Amino acid sequence: MGTKREVRIGCVQIPASETFDEAIEIACRLAGRVVEDGAELVCLPEYCGGLMTDRGALKPPAAPEASHPVLAALREFTRDAGVWTLIGSVAVEGLDGRLINRGYLVDDQGEIRARYDKIHMFDVDFSATEKYRESDVISPGDTAVVADTPWGRLGMTTCYDLRFPHLYRSLAQAGAEMLAVPAAFTKTSGQAHWHVLNRARAIENGAVVVSPCATGSIPGGGEVYGHSLIISPWGEVLADGGEEVGVIVATVNMDSVASARNRVPSLQHDRPFNLQAKSGTDLQTKSGTDRRSVA
């Protein structure tokens, strides 16, 4: 695949939807807007196929991958528009009674080029009343994914993965120049950490970071942060979606990745080190390495 060094990226910032039909309508309508604005790579957030909660538990609408209506509609949109689309994630029926939180990279012919199942589960207690147990509903993935695009290699991650820098280090060292972080980041944690974590992942890996995030209230309870971001390899915020439903678009020259990595070549400077635990035991480890496989 030939590499084009300049790409116009669009992020679609949508609310959580209760039904497939609702999700399809708003996703395709706003994706059409970013295509009109010249986007060649259209990026949608986590659970763009719908998201609800029920008494604090996640309850996204789900279907088998082969018959998932949102996936089918977005593949058709992508083919008709002649763009590439990052489908942040939809809920796919799994094999163990739980669902799979699965993202897709779709090419301009509507073909699926890569799949990514979210690795890290959002199991946290913000307070006595605000608790999340994603693993009760979602079965975690175990494979990191780097995929080829016309503009360079793309590392696929999802939402809570953002807090695990070794994952992004592994993706960058496997050749990813662009890191995708589609999310439905909670407003509580987003206000405190979203911008700084996204900028950190860009800076420490010298990579373009693209983070479409859902916004507004979740049917059944909860709230997501918005502020979809497109960030340069030097950590500059090129576009920020704020808190309203809408779109952002930015043009990125992928040569900026090599420039940032040449200025601060930290990807080449990881070194093995010994970790001395409190017991005095020396544990051999290696910085920047994830034991999971990279596809």
- The 10s digit of each residue's pLDDT in 37-84 is 999 999 999 999 999 999 888 999 999 999 999 999 999 999 999 999
pLDDT of residue 129: 73
Exposure on the CB side of residue 154, measured as CA atoms within 13 A? 30
Within-domain flag for 1: no
What lies within 8 Å, CB to CB, of 165 at 6+ separation is 200, 201, 204
| 276 domain-assigned | no
Q: Sign (positive/negative) of CA torsion 61, 162, 244, 110?
A: negative
**What total of structural domains would you count in the chain?**
1
Place of tokens 């950490």: 193
Measured between alpha carbons, how far is 259 from 147 in angstroms, rounded to an integer?
22
Query: Which domain covers residue 48, as residue numbers?
Result: 7-270+281-294
How far apart CA 279 and CA 143 sit, in angstroms, is 33
The whole-number pLDDT of residue 131 equals 75
The residues that are catalytic are 46, 118, 159
Does residue 275 lie in a domain region? no
Q: Model-level pTM?
A: 0.92
Cβ-proximal residues to 227 (8 Å cutoff; 6+ apart), any chain? 190, 194, 195, 213, 215, 240, 241, 242, 243
Residue 148 lies in a domain: yes
Inform me whether the pLDDT recorded for 285 exceeds 60: no
Residue 209 lies in a domain: yes
The CATH number for 107's domain is: 3.60.110.10
pLDDT in tens, 223-282: 999 999 999 999 999 999 999 999 999 999 999 999 999 999 999 999 999 998 876 555
